[in-house]
Structure 1
């Protein structure tokens, strides 16, 4: 008979601190968290992160530059850029027949820098658990 192992990272009993929960609940804005999750969802794809990193190096990229950088068709690059724009991470301007993308603002640069630094310091999350 095989014995089932209980996970070590789960409480074995239920113990809720109502005061703590009330303090937390009073400081959480669900709408803000929803918007923030959209921001992170926009970043949750390696090609999009590559575009963001490229925009930190060069202030603007046209859709064609992004496609060449990613080695994907222009339509795919455009889709990634649109996702980043919808997440509020980049802005665009049209100049003649070209569309140029840049970081939405300096705060976006800080978010990306913080994420890259965190990953550099943390290493492989699957190793550290």
Structure 2
């Protein structure tokens, strides 16, 4: 048996009932899990991720600023922001003819910070 298989599989086939019961009792329900996976899918797109990190850095930007900062077409930025807003990841406020976007809350900020820290740490 290769070393990779040995690390990724149970070799003695035992089950730890107390740990399994803990996991089952605290597992997200299917609806909650669906929402969680949708958020990760949103974050999994490089364009949307660039926009989110731009908002993380600047705090609040309009579509024009986001397009310029990320070298992305305004139409692409608008489409991405529509999806992010619908999922509750970003929020917007209108000022005259412009809409300024920001991360919706501290949880989104934390998720972005921790993810980036993890990537930098594992390099």
Q: TM-score, normalised by structure 1?
A: 0.77
1:37 match: 37
Q: Which residue of 1 aligns with 2:115?
A: 115
The number of equivalent residue pairs is: 119
Name the structure 1 match of 2:88: 88
Which structure is higher in helix share?
A: 2
Residue segments in structure 1 that go unaligned for 5+ positions in a row: 124-129
Query: Given that residues 63 and 100 in structure 2 are in contact (C-alpha distance below 8 angstroms), is that contact kept between their aligned partners in structure 1?
Result: yes
Aligned equivalents of 1:79, 1:20: Cα separation in 2: 43
2:23 paired residue number: 24
Alignment of 1:1-129 (within 5 A): 8=5, 9-11=8-10, 15-30=14-29, 31-123=31-123
In structure 2, the gaps of 5 or more residues are none
Matched residue of 2:82: which SS?
Answer: helix
Rounded to whole Å, the distance in 2 between the matches of 1:53 and 1:97 is 24
Contact 1:60 1:101 in 2 (8 A): yes
Moved over 3 A (4+): 10-20
TM-score by structure 2 length?
0.80
> Using a 3 Å threshold, how does the CA distance of structure 1 residues 61 and 29 change in structure 2: closer, same or farther?
same
Aligned Cα RMSD in Å?
2.2
- Change in CA separation of 1:122 and 1:98 when aligned onto 2, cut-off 3 Å: same
